[in-house]
Amino acid sequence: MPEVVVEGTDLDLSHLHESVRPIAALPAAERLGYVRADRWIGYPAANEALQRLETLLAWPAKQRMPNLLLVGPTNNGKSMIIEKFRRDHPVVSHADHEEIPVLALQMPSNPSVTRFYTAILTAMGAPLRKTYQIAHLEQVVLQLLRSAGVRMLIIDELHNVFGGTADACSLLASFAAAFPLRRPSLIATPEMTSYLLTRSEGTIGELAGLLTDAASAAIESGEESINQRTLQLASYAGPTERRRLFERELT
């Protein structure tokens, strides 16, 4: 039977939130678009986080400003909270400049000081045309942050600060040296670090699980080293994939 699209006001939509009722009367294609888009739903923990951000935004300027670290598993609504907070404090256009009370950006993968400053400039809509020395770049960034009246800097994907750093590389080098494999595992490179941290979603326990599976594959396959091939052979599934598998079993 062809779908009958009932448009108009004769539908009983009292089961819906008020703001959604007009949309429920729209044709299927438009409703599908709405269903697939992100929308904000408040829940206690998120509202509490937003409230703490509000408190910080109103903090009087002083020499050492407070910080807040928001930690949670993947897919847990952290980025959505940032987006919501940013929407609540939008850019204000003045005659001669834009005021950006809340500036949000993502920590670049494989970050360096230069890439971090560049990410700030991009988030402000002021991408660089020249290359600067770090010291000068820092001046440019600070000057722009001040003139745009930025009161809060929010950095998403902060765990990337571990990617490509000497810290993370030396941890991987220690792992690589601790598995009894007969060939060297060249995993302490920035590219490998970034790949391993992404696949294991950034925690040391997951990283250990991934490397253990790859080392087992290295022995079983005779490859005798952790490399692209044995990492592919590794049976390891990251937290997100495990959750997906678990949810599939439930249905």
CB of 85 to ligand ATP, least distance (A): 11
- Which CB, 163 or 181, lies closer to Mg ion? 163
**Is 47 near ligand ATP (CB under 6 A)?**
no
Q: Count CA atoms closer than 13 A to 15's CA, side-chain side.
A: 3
Min. distance of Cβ 202 from ligand ATP in angstroms? 9
Q: How far is the CB of 76 from ligand ATP (least distance, A)?
A: 4
Residue ranges in 76-115 that form contacts with ligand ATP under rule CB under 6 A: 76-80
Specify which residues 153 forms β-bridges with: 103
What is the DSSP-derived secondary structure letter of residue 77? S
By CB under 6 A, tell whether 233 contacts ligand ATP: no
* 219 residue type, one letter: I
Q: How many residues bind ligand ATP (CB under 6 A)?
A: 13
DSSP labels, 173-209: HHHHHHS--SS-----SHHHHHHHHHHTTT-HHHHHH
CB 226 within 8 A of CB 179: yes
Here's the x/- map for Mg ion, 50-89, by CB under 5 A: it reads as: -----------------------------x----------
Q: Please identify, using beta-carbon distances, which residue of 50 and 57 lies nearer to ligand ATP.
A: 50
Distances (CA, A) of 237 to 175, 201, 218: 19, 11, 17
The CA distance from 41 to 46, in Å, is 9
Q: Using CB under 5 A as the criterion, which residues of the chain lie in contact with Mg ion when the complex forms?
A: 79
- Name the residues that contact ligand ATP, by CB under 6 A: 38-41, 46, 72, 74-80
